Amino acid sequence: MFLRSTDQIQYLRMKKHEVDDPWRSCISYNKPLPASSCITGGDDYKQAAALYHQSKQIKAPAQKADYLRRALALCEAPEPYYDLGKSYMQLGDYDNALETFGRSLDITPDEERRLRGKIHGRRAHINLALDRINLALTDKDAAVELFDNDTPRWLAKISKNIDLHPKRQRMSARDIYISLSAKRSMSNDKGFSSAPSIDIFVTFKTDSDQPDERGSSQLGNLGIAVADLVDDEIKEILVIGHTDVRGDANYNQALSERRATTAVNHLAGKYPKLATRLVPLGRGESEPAHKGNSAEDHQLNRRVAIQLISK
């Protein structure tokens, strides 16, 4: 197969200006490329690189998708799949977008944390649009961790929209269970550094460590999910209280500790088998989930987190 002259020009221009080669990451980390991929430096490789570079100049999502599909037919690589997934998103083709992001994730090296974070973030956006809140939450939390908490603005916006969703504010026991199960599996398979966890918006009476009616309901759903999920591999269940950033830091720290203790007592009272593994912790205002200063941000930062620690 020979390159057309226009593709040759694009390829040489790409090399001259050192535009990122989307296949470089797989090669540099010695990640095996899929069987359908071409030989590095061969004609298919060069033509795919040229098509990918051309796609970067195209704004129309349908035309961009066509160039990317042609490039990927010659040579598979994570970034062209990611860009193709974004084009499908713009076209409203969420099924193909999710499938394409999944393929990108499958062949992205673990060391490429930011690219993996971007993929999870886009999947979170789609799952939110499809009202799949438990899946959106799982992908969102994975994205935030992969960005090492240096969250880009677009991801912060998606994260906030997920946390404000009514189904997120009042999570069912089933959704809590599904989300924690998915995170547990992900932490085992993908080498995530943190233990599987979930934030629950347990509401308390003003300046009190006692939950209100809604907060008690959320603690009840949390207990059902955790009791069903915990097995012999779980050594500890951390119950972590968080406050917003307003007020005195020492007061907030003490309040978060009291609220964590209340949550532990509630869970242990209803599920005695959990009692010896529950550990209350308070983090006060030190770990806000959202860094803004609006009433919504403060509301979302007042929460109780559950973290499962394996043996």
The pLDDT tens digits for 96-121 are 999 999 999 998 988 899 999 999 99
Into how many domains does the chain fold? 2
Shared domain for 82 and 195, answered yes or no, is: no
Tell me how far apart the alpha carbons of residues 263 and 202 are, in angstroms, rounded to a whole number: 9
- Residues 6 or more apart whose CB falls under 8 angstroms from that of 219 comprise 200, 202, 211, 263, 266, 267, 304
Tell me how far apart the alpha carbons of residues 147 and 99 are, in angstroms, rounded to a whole number: 22
What average pLDDT does this structure show over 120-148? 94
pTM score of the predicted model: 0.82
- With residue 303 as reference, give the H or E element that holds it: strand 303-310
Of the listed ranges 74-83, 152-161, 190-199, 226-235, the one predicted with least confidence: 190-199
Measure CA of the first residue to CA of the last residue in the chain; give whole Å.
55
Could you tell me the CATH number of the domain that includes residue 138?
A: 1.25.40.10
In a domain, 27, yes or no: yes
**For residue 238, what are the domain limits?**
188-310
What average pLDDT does this structure show over 141-169? 92
Of the listed ranges 95-99, 125-129, 282-286, the one predicted with least confidence: 282-286
Q: Is 234's pLDDT higher than 80? A: yes
Q: Is 281's pLDDT higher than 70? A: yes
Q: Is 25's pLDDT higher than 50? A: no
Shared domain for 251 and 123, answered yes or no, is: no
Shared domain for 192 and 117, answered yes or no, is: no
Shared domain for 208 and 245, answered yes or no, is: yes
Taken in order 187, 171, 160, 79, the sign of the CA dihedral is positive
Could you tell me the CATH number of the domain that includes residue 200?
A: 3.30.1330.60
> What share of the chain has pLDDT > 70, as a percent?
85
- Predicted pLDDT of residue 140: 94
Shared domain for 114 and 261, answered yes or no, is: no
- Predicted pLDDT of residue 13: 46
Shared domain for 17 and 155, answered yes or no, is: yes
Residue holding tokens 């906030």? 160
pLDDT, greater one: 61 or 24: 61
Shared domain for 143 and 286, answered yes or no, is: no
